[in-house]
Amino acid sequence: MEYTTLGSTGMEVSKICLGCMSFGSGTDWMLDEDDSEELIERAIDLGVNFFDTANTYSAGESEEILGDVLAHYDRDEQVVATKVRFSGANEHRNAEGLSRKTIEQELEHSLDRLGMDTVDLYQIHRWDYDTPIETTLRALDDAVRRGQVRHIGASSMWAHQFQEALHVSDREGLARFETMQNLYHLTYREEEREMYPVCEKEDVGVLPWSPLAAGYLTRPHEEFTATERGETEEDYGVPYHEGPGSREINERVQELAADKGVTMAQIALAWHFQNDAVDAPIVGTSSVEHLEAAVEALDVSLSSSDVAYLEEPYEPVPIYGHE
């Protein structure tokens, strides 16, 4: 395993963050408690020390499963991140959003499910258009001061919104967002235009979600919708495979994978690992085998010409993931 410093937090995290959305019973392709435990334990064996979950994943089951497994390990060695914005185990008018009430009650619920007194990284799960950002930041700052949260982060939003949030924190002396979790992969690179320059300037750690385009970059283009996950993403209207250059990028990933004797997923992940803008992609998987292959991708070397070859077909696509 390789490690990196996460933005300005000073925390050392594995260059692979294990995404925990697949833990629970939300859909048929998710893992039950026993299979989730096996995956988490194997991740730890491989050197992964960074885990990302959310109150909304399987209505809180993901947090419960992660917390139960990590309770058998040295908590100080692990970096745990969770999120707030959408409803968790309870659904009512104040179960979602980023009001002080919602943040405080959902944080308590998340800590209880995780079995922890403090979460290392607490992230807002998108922007809340109904709550002033100063209200949200004051509630998060209070959570930091109470010792329930060590660092705060944000997720997919417009760069101007993120810059506004950082400005409010600086003006009011509040805790700043130190990480950005956004959609980014070979067939969706719109974040390079504005968000990543802001993150570089402000020393914000970058944690791309769906780094393999929900599986689109792990198999030939024509096979994508043949999988259960691919069908699900089609239903959601996720445009991973609809960009003008997406098919050609997919074919070039196939070509490089064949040349180097590795999988398509390993090429797509290696592209992230060599990217200076990225701290740790969030790798979600329901297979120990795929997890092991992801770790092996750290050893896949891409030359500058390889990177240029993969990136060359890309053309702008509509913004996705901010809502």
List residues with catalytic annotation: 57
For residues 194 and 192, what is the distance between their CA atoms, to the nearest angstrom? Answer: 6
CA distances from 221 to 152, 218, 266 (A): 37, 9, 16
For residues 267 and 30, what is the distance between their CA atoms, to the nearest angstrom? Answer: 25
CA distances from 64 to 115, 130, 175, 203 (A): 8, 29, 27, 32
For residues 127 and 163, what is the distance between their CA atoms, to the nearest angstrom? Answer: 12
83 token code pair:
């999120």
Torsion angle of alpha carbons 22, 203, 307, 273, nearest 10°? -40
Amino acid found at 183: L
Amino acid found at 225: T
Phi, psi of 144 (to 5 degrees): -65, -45
For residues 18 and 40, what is the distance between their CA atoms, to the nearest angstrom? Answer: 8
For residues 204 and 196, what is the distance between their CA atoms, to the nearest angstrom? Answer: 9
For residues 210 and 284, what is the distance between their CA atoms, to the nearest angstrom? Answer: 8
Cβ–Cβ under 8 Å, residues 103 and 139: yes
155 token code pair:
């997720």
Which residues are 83's β-sheet partners? 123
